[in-house]
Amino acid sequence: MIKEKYIQRTKETALNVLQTQVESLRKKDVTKTGLRLYKDGHIGVSGALGKYDEAELEQRAQDALGLQVPYDLKVSQDNKQTMEICPDLISEQDFPAEMEAMLAELRKEQPKFSFSNKIKLTEREISLVNDKDLDLRFKDRLISMELVIKEKASANLFDAFSGYIGRSYERREFLRLTNDICNAYQNPVDLPQGEKMPVVFSTSDLLPLKQVIMDLNGQSFGTGSSLLAGKAGQQVFNENFTLYQNHNPEDSIQPFFDAEGVVNPDYRYTLIDKGKVVTPYTDKKTAAQYNLPLTGSAKAEYDAVPTLDFTSCKIQESEKTLKELLQGQMAVFVLVASGGDFTPSGDFGTPVQLAFLFDGERLIGKLPPLQLSANVFSMYGEDFIGVGKNSLYTLGKEKYMIMNMKVSQ
Amino acid sequence: MFVFPKNLYTDVRIEDVFKTTIAYTLGKLDEQKVRKYKAAFIRIFDGEKWYYSATSDVEAVQGEIDALAQLATPNPGIYQDPIVQKLEANTGEHTKFQTDSVAIIDSAEKLKLLQSHFSTLTEVEEIKMWKARYIDENVRKEFYSSKGAELNFDFQKAGFTLSFDMAAGERRFSEAFTKGSDSFQDLQDAHQEAKAHVAKCLDFLHNYRTLKPGKYTTIMAPVVAGVFAHESFGHKSESDFMVGDETMKREWAIGKKVGADILSIIDDGNRPGSGYVPFDDEGTKARKSYLIKEGVLSDRLHSASTAAALEEEVTGNARAMNFEFEPIVRMTSTYIAPGKKKKEELFREVEEGIYIEDLKHGSGMSTFTIAPSLAYYIKDGKIAYPVNIAVITGNVFETLGEIDGLSDGLDVDTKVTGGCGKMEQFPLTVGFGGPYVRVKNINAQ
């Protein structure tokens, strides 16, 4: 029998912002412990919040083993790695005062807008340790700035959004980001003529990637229900489109290992290489069942059996800046696009609640509400332009992809 | 029970949760889990700011209270504060599910129920991938406050989802059959219903056509109408968006005409189902609120803070997703009140339009969106053939005025998976529903 513990600790200070003032402070320190027992091709899992009795936790895991949940797979072992990412980020003690000061500047610099929602400072510790010499530990500190922007004269619930999740904070840079959005918002511009035009999405916006992510699911791929099933090795997309499963802390906030303890070289796995489908993402069970490469894409709640799920991805940046990719063309920069989806045949449609006209460097002005439409194979095929090598701001290391789409009002 | 600090308002919410999850993929057991925990959320208010703490150690609640009190500034007038004045101090035992709790039903029965549906999926050749999932949850809450609240209440849900991916040649279609209730017994005998749904999906897979993008008269099934009500108007009734905002107060004045005369939208935490919450997470008793009555803005949803700020009454809508979060203004069971037409009449009067029977998701800001799954083209008053639609959208205010027909039945769905998302708190269990609703000029693409 192998005994394994999966522990997630979250320590967080969260400020709620209401009308550009701190309205509340929330402290959280929650530890979630999962105990997994592996025996004779089965897994039994029990879990506890906070303090627990070791013997009782083990007894419950033993009871769960009796339910005979199959797990006839090799448990990760002989791997000891620790990664501590504790950047020179603001301290928990200084955090509330700094945010009050930042909001005071925002009130002065953007008097026509109010700002609400959450600002959080989070410390996470995730470990997966078993008695077969697996000892993976990840410790991280993150700041999450998520401000909803409302023009005071507007009757909308909110009008725009400013924020990022990252491992650095600089007051002036965050104010620059927010000021750019507010200033562009106040300059309404017309949509340029033309049915198709370049559209810019943040690569952290999963809406345009939703179909690709669904179709790269190992189970869908293996059973033949994916639009990409049977297309491994084929040139399906544009040769500028390379997609990785990504657990690299350089540009991901995921731990470097998945919920089954799989660690990839460089913490990445190539799923699409220069437009060719390489492999879907898989956990151990899916990889074994469909004879696919194991990419390490298992997720689990603290008290659950690990299961296949999408974790995090990265699209390879091009050698060009956003400005160079646009070659002098104006683009639609999507800031808020909510509610869209793909049809079963891969057609994409979404309203864009807030978009800006963009020249590759600067948000020029606010476009009217738009509709975007495309097909997944054209979005990442002939209409894919690329991902810029540059970020627009230094805070969250956000990258942006550009593709031609049908744009209408 | 607790020693509350002087000159500060304090409340403590303790959650005792029982939850079962059973999951299968292609007939193989993935998971059979029972989660039980007790945890607490503490709030302290000094008249200026709120201070919160979430803890999984209920033995440490007093320590958390004392630590939070150190952050706050004592205020001798705290009980005259308008927010504290709005907080109710309800007491008593208000549990409803202790004899019918899903926690006392044997896991083997739950397993058997789920397994009894497998053949519905395995007998269809086009189903390439399927998952079956049983979920139940019984939540018992205790609530104590320094104003004297001392309260127990509970709610629960149980249900299952059969999700499947179909493929035939190059055609693909993914859907799910879901059955939910607040009672395990209600889940029995859903086999014919599940089979009929799968058969409908099979027909969709083989016969769907692409819809020409444009504006269509649209008939929404009750579950879709419920999501439409929730997304198009429900979120705008959550009054935290209005606090301190003079424009919003003017724009959203009670008495304003906001929709068609036949339209009434209600939110009611007393209604049985997945939106049942007899008290909110500030200890306020649930109310029935007419958000829109006969086309006119009539009420809105409140926490104590928003009720005080807008000088209105609390409505029992301050809800938290779980012990890790503070209560914010949220919906409970939101539905459109039924009208007078027969369902058949609604269809008969449409020359060309679309019918949305089921959906994947919805969203709502100034425009609402619904991503349909099962959708049909209507021609000359009849369903003609299935159609593929990525999303339907509309401007909220224009669309509410375009509602021109409501059927005479009411169906409020009990959801067991998913829920409502608001900022960091997703998913919160809510109820959706309504009659069949007909709306003109909906943009479909």
- Considering only residues 47 to 76 of chain B, which have any Cβ-Cβ distance to chain A shorter than 8 Å? 49-57, 68, 71
Q: Are residues B332 and B383 in the same domain?
A: yes
Instruction: Check CB contact of B309 with chain A, cutoff 8 Å.
Output: no
Q: Are residues B151 and B188 in the same domain?
A: yes
Q: Are residues B26 and B120 in the same domain?
A: yes
Q: Round to whole Å and give the CA distance between B363 and B300.
A: 19
Fold of A2-185: PmbA/TldD fold (3.30.2290)
Distance from CA of B121 to the nearest CA of A (A): 14
Interchain CB distance below 8 Å, B32 and A18 = no
**Residue of B21, B29, B30 to mutate for A, most A C-beta atoms under 10 A:** B30
Distance from CA of A70 to the nearest CA of B (A): 7
Interchain CB distance below 8 Å, A344 and B32 = no
Specify if B2 maps to a domain.
no
Q: Are residues B289 and B152 in the same domain?
A: no
Q: Are residues B404 and B422 in the same domain?
A: yes
**Residue of A51, A57, A99, A157 to mutate for B, most B C-beta atoms under 10 A:** A157
**Residue of A8, A219, A225, A284 to mutate for B, most B C-beta atoms under 10 A:** A225
Distance from CA of A226 to the nearest CA of B (A): 8
CATH code for position B197 = 3.30.2290.10
Model confidence band, residue B415 (pLDDT cutoffs 50, 70, 90): confident
For B131, the closest chain A residue by CA position comes to A219
pLDDT in tens, A121-131: 999 999 999 99
Domain count, chain B: 2
Interchain CB distance below 8 Å, A70 and B29 = yes
Between chain A and chain B, how many beta carbons pairs sit less than 8 Å apart? 187
Structure tokens at B164: 């499947």
For B325, the closest chain A residue by CA position comes to A26
- With vertex at residue B382, the alpha carbon angle to CA B377 and CA B388, rounded to the nearest 5 degrees, is 15
Q: Are residues B198 and B230 in the same domain?
A: no
Interchain CB distance below 8 Å, B245 and A19 = yes
Q: Are residues B224 and B200 in the same domain?
A: no
Q: Are residues B226 and B318 in the same domain?
A: yes
Structure tokens at A128: 């997966």
In chain B, count H helices and then E strands: 10, 27
Query: Which range of residues forms the domain containing residue B251?
Result: 212-444
Q: Which residues contact B30 (CB under 8 A, 6 or more apart)?
A: A69, A305, A307, B23, B24
- Considering only residues 2 to 41 of chain B, which have any Cβ-Cβ distance to chain A shorter than 8 Å? 21, 23, 25-26, 28-33, 35, 37, 39
pTM confidence score: 0.94
Query: Could you count the other beta carbons within 10 Å of the beta carbon of residue A377?
Result: 19
Instruction: Check CB contact of B391 with chain A, cutoff 8 Å.
Output: yes
Q: Are residues B223 and B151 in the same domain?
A: no
**Residue of B24, B31, B231 to mutate for A, most A C-beta atoms under 10 A:** B31
Q: Are residues B372 and B404 in the same domain?
A: yes
Render each residue's pLDDT in chain A as its tens digit; 409 residues: 999 999 999 999 999 999 999 999 999 999 999 999 999 999 999 999 999 999 999 999 999 999 999 999 999 999 999 999 977 899 999 999 999 999 999 999 999 999 999 999 999 999 999 999 999 999 999 999 999 999 999 988 899 999 999 999 999 999 999 999 999 999 999 999 988 999 999 999 999 999 999 999 999 999 999 999 999 999 999 999 999 999 999 999 999 999 999 999 999 999 999 999 999 999 999 999 999 999 999 999 999 999 999 999 999 999 999 999 999 999 999 999 999 999 998 999 999 999 999 999 999 999 999 999 999 999 999 999 999 999 999 888 889 999 999 999 9
Query: Could you count the other beta carbons within 10 Å of the beta carbon of residue B6?
Result: 11
Residues of A in contact with B396 (CB under 8 A): none
Specify if B296 maps to a domain.
yes
The pLDDT of residue A396 is: 80
What is the complex's ipTM, to 2 decimals?
Answer: 0.92
Specify if B1 maps to a domain.
no
pLDDT in tens, A309-319: 999 999 999 99
Last residue of a domain, one of B178, B205, B232: B205
Dihedral pair phi/psi, residue B302, rounded to 5°: -135, 150
> DSSP labels for B295-316?
TEE---B--HHHHHHTT----S
List the one residue out of B117, B141, B121 whose CA is nearest residue B129: B121
Q: Please say if the pLDDT value at position B367 is more than 90.
A: no
Give the start-to-end residue ranges of the domains of chain A: 2-185, 196-207+318-408, 230-315
Residues of A in contact with B165 (CB under 8 A): 220, 223, 225
Which among B28, B243, B326 has the least Cβ separation from residue A70? B28
Interchain CB distance below 8 Å, A117 and B243 = no
Q: Are residues B158 and B245 in the same domain?
A: no
Interchain CB distance below 8 Å, B369 and A373 = no
Q: Are residues B306 and B410 in the same domain?
A: yes
- Considering only residues 323 to 362 of chain B, which have any Cβ-Cβ distance to chain A shorter than 8 Å? 324, 326, 360-362
List the one residue out of A224, A284, A59 whose CA is nearest residue B30: A284
Instruction: Check CB contact of B125 with chain A, cutoff 8 Å.
Output: no
